[in-house]
Structure 1
Amino acid sequence: MPTGVALRDARRQLFDAAERVLLRDGPNALTSRAVTDEARCAKGVLHRHFSDFDTFLTELVQDRIAGIDAQRAALDESAGTGTVTGNLADALTEVFGTVAVAVVALITSRDELRARLRATRPTGVPLLSEATAMITSYLAAERDLGRIAADADLDALAPMLIGAGHLLFADRTGPPPDAEAVRRIVTTTIAGSVRNPQP
Structure 2
Amino acid sequence: MPTGVALRDVREQLFDAAERVLLRAGPHALTSRAVTTEAGVAKGVLHRHFADFDAFLAEFVLDRVGRMDRGTATLHESAGSGTVVDNLTEALTALYASASVAIVKLVTVRDGLTERLRHTWPAGVPVVTEAISAVADYLSRERHLGRIAATVDVDTLATILIGTTHMIYVHRGETPPDAEAVRRVVLMAVPEQK
- Give the alignment's TM-score, normalised by structure 1: 0.92
Contact 1:147 1:194 in 2 (8 A): no
In the TM superposition, what is the alpha-carbon distance from 1:73 to its structure 2 partner? 2.2
Structure-1 residue corresponding to 2:192: 194
| Runs of at least 5 residues in structure 2 that lack an aligned partner in the other structure | none
Structure-2 residue corresponding to 1:61: 61
Q: What amino acid sits opposite 1:7 in the alignment?
A: L
CA distance in structure 2 between the partners assigned to 1:98 and 1:105 by the alignment: 13
In the TM superposition, what is the alpha-carbon distance from 1:173 to its structure 2 partner? 4.0
1:175 aligned onto 2:175: yes
Structure-2 residue corresponding to 1:166: 166
Structure-1 residue corresponding to 2:27: 27
Aligned CA RMSD, in angstroms, stands at 1.4
CA distance in structure 2 between the partners assigned to 1:195 and 1:19 by the alignment: 38
In the TM superposition, what is the alpha-carbon distance from 1:94 to its structure 2 partner? 1.4
Structure-1 residue corresponding to 2:9: 9
| Matched-pair identity in % | 57
Structure-1 residue corresponding to 2:105: 105
- The C-alpha deviation readout for 1:141-167, integer Å capped at 9, x for no partner, is 000111110000112100000001111
In the TM superposition, what is the alpha-carbon distance from 1:118 to its structure 2 partner? 1.1
1:43 aligned onto 2:31: no
Contact 1:92 1:165 in 2 (8 A): yes
Structure-1 residue corresponding to 2:83: 83
CA distance in structure 2 between the partners assigned to 1:162 and 1:46 by the alignment: 33
CA distance in structure 1 between the partners assigned to 2:104 and 2:27 by the alignment: 9
CA distance in structure 2 between the partners assigned to 1:29 and 1:86 by the alignment: 36
Change (3 A) 1:119 1:172: farther
- The C-alpha deviation readout for 1:31-59, integer Å capped at 9, x for no partner, is 00000010111001111111111110000
Structure-1 residue corresponding to 2:121: 121
Q: What amino acid sits opposite 2:192 in the alignment?
A: V
User: Is the deviation greater in 67-76 or in 101-110?
Assistant: 67-76
CA distance in structure 2 between the partners assigned to 1:130 and 1:194 by the alignment: 25
Q: What amino acid sits opposite 1:66 in the alignment?
A: G
| Runs of at least 5 residues in structure 1 that lack an aligned partner in the other structure | none
Contact 1:23 1:99 in 2 (8 A): yes
